[in-house]
Structure 1
Amino acid sequence: YSAHGTSFTVVTPTGEKFGFSTHLVGECNVSNLLAAIIVALRLEVPIEKIRYAVNDIQQVEHRLNMKRTPGGVTIIDDAFNSNPTGSKMALDVLKMMTGGRRIIVTPGMIELGERQEELNAKFGEYIAGAADIAIIVGHYNREAIISGIKSTDTTSLDVHAVNSFSEAQQLLATTLKPGDTILYENDLPDTFK
């Protein structure tokens, strides 16, 4: 993964190797592309047409959607919703961004029933292994996420707790530098405390 998307190589059963690039990121997207590539190869679609299609596919808004600002900041917009599998995948993408600081802005995950606290604590553990700065928005999952972060031996993670996305944006405005990457993971409205 990079700020420009994903590059990967497909190796066929006969040993042929084909390189691909796409604007999409995340294991789920690569997995889906692999299935489509396999079908296209079986149907004897020319490799250049397959490469073109893979490279031309457009990102889905708010689902691991990558953008670059004129100031050189990469934004990973995974704000549509958040679940344990998807949030870990988004953090895996964030972890691969090495051009600057890796920042996550999140209120955590909701609608997880009796496992709400446990899964948000696990989310905090993943954050500790993937980010340099964590901005936890709101109160609902704050304690669980921070306890998960603290359960790791990470001492370099800079954690900020804010009450709203507006406060998170104000904090970012004063700290962002060219090369930084921001992951927006879930976008619960500020009214959801």
Structure 2
Amino acid sequence: MAYDRYIAICRPLHYAMLMDTRACVRMAAAAWASGFLYALLHTANTFSIPLCQGNVVNQFFCEIPQILKLSCSDFYLREVGLIVLGLFSFLGCFVFIVLSYVQIFRAVLRMPSEQGRHKAFSMCLPHLAVVSLFVSTVMFAYLKPPSMSSPALDLVVAVVYSVVPPAVNPLLYSMRNKELQEALRKLVIQVQRKHR
């Protein structure tokens, strides 16, 4: 998304050439393949970890930090290594997103038209909001000190980062649709009239 926004705003005349079907398929395939490989490595590794504290995980899904809490050997160090590898991969993507948006905001702020700046910001801000929500909750979930850890808090944080961004994403992007904005405005007016 960051690359798409970068090309659309910073290189609009080259958009059709740079963001053709082949480029989109390659980016989607790379994202799916890397996600599948990362998940496969975690799955294979967690199945090899001996568990000595039972096999009950206090989550609604089998999350890696919860499995590591049940481990009774040094095998979990391999999993920590995979998490560090994932962090480096994540940091690479994060730096790419930040650099893309720095270039985007520089280009937008140089636009002479107020309407053009508004349109560009309205195209970028939903993506930034969803990414920020996801990154902040994941960072809190995985980087919080163990002293702050409790089963209830871990469960709430896991729900927030796995459910809220995918649920909010379509809402934020659909709010750019004029017909939806008009329907929402009418709904708000109708609710206000009922409560008077």
**Between structures 1 and 2, the one with greater helix share:** 2
Larger radius of gyration: 2
Q: TM-score, normalised by structure 2?
A: 0.24
**Between structures 1 and 2, the one with greater strand share:** 1
